[in-house]
Amino acid sequence: MTKIKSLDDLRQKKQQLEQSMDIREKSDHPENLVQIKVAMATCGIASGARTVMNALVEKIKKENIPAVVTQTGCMGYCYAEPTVEVTKPGFDPVVFSYVDVKKAEEIIDKYILNNELLDGILPPNYQTI
């Protein structure tokens, strides 16, 4: 397969993708998506947040899960980094601590897909503004 090197290549590839998938549909209904936030301040990055974020992106793509992965700053849980906040539609946010690649996959397999909680959930003592 040819590699994407220019904006024209990107445009063509995007058009092919649009014909075969629902990428535009998903963006029209963000409230139906699982929101995954990876804490990426100094503490998170130094503890491996980027690897975790890449693993989450790979896994939700592989499982075709309607989710969006974003980042956030330090929530004050530096001791427990990398931390990941997951908000499923209609549910309160849950913050998972000490997340590595294995745990990132467990979060998706167990919590997101099967509503099963995991060890290491942090108390919700912060407010989202």
Partner 1 sequence: MNDLALHLLDIIQNSLSAGATVITVSIEENPRNNFLAMSVKDNGCGMNEEQLQKLSDPFFTSRTTRRVGLGVPLLRQTAEQSGGNLKVVSEPGKGTCLTARFQYDHLDRPPLGDMANAMVLMISANPGVDFAYRYSYNEKSYEITTRELKDVLDGVPLNDLYIMEMIEEMIRENQNDLKVCQIE
Distance of CA 110 to the CA centre of its chain: 15
Stretch that binds partner 1, among 54-62, 84-92, 100-108, 110-118 (CB under 8 A): 54-62
Site string for partner 1, 85-114 (x = CB under 8 A): ------------------------------
CA distance 84 to 94: 8
Report, in Å, the least distance between residue 126 CB and partner 1. 8
Q: Which of 14, 32, 121, 124 binds partner 1 (CB under 8 A)?
A: 14
Stretch that binds partner 1, among 47-55, 84-92, 95-103, 104-112 (CB under 8 A): 47-55
CA distance 50 to 44: 8
CA distance 42 to 88: 27
Strand 67-72 to strand 94-96: parallel, antiparallel, or no bridges (unpaired)?
Answer: unpaired
Q: Does 61 bind partner 1 (CB under 8 A)?
A: yes
Reference 84, options 101, 104, 65; nearest CA is 104
Q: Give the N- to C-terminal CA distance of the chain in Å, as an integer.
A: 44
Residues at the interface with partner 1 (CB under 8 A)? 3-7, 9-11, 13-14, 17-18, 21, 23-24, 26-27, 38, 40-43, 45-46, 50, 53-54, 57, 60-61, 68-71, 73-76, 78
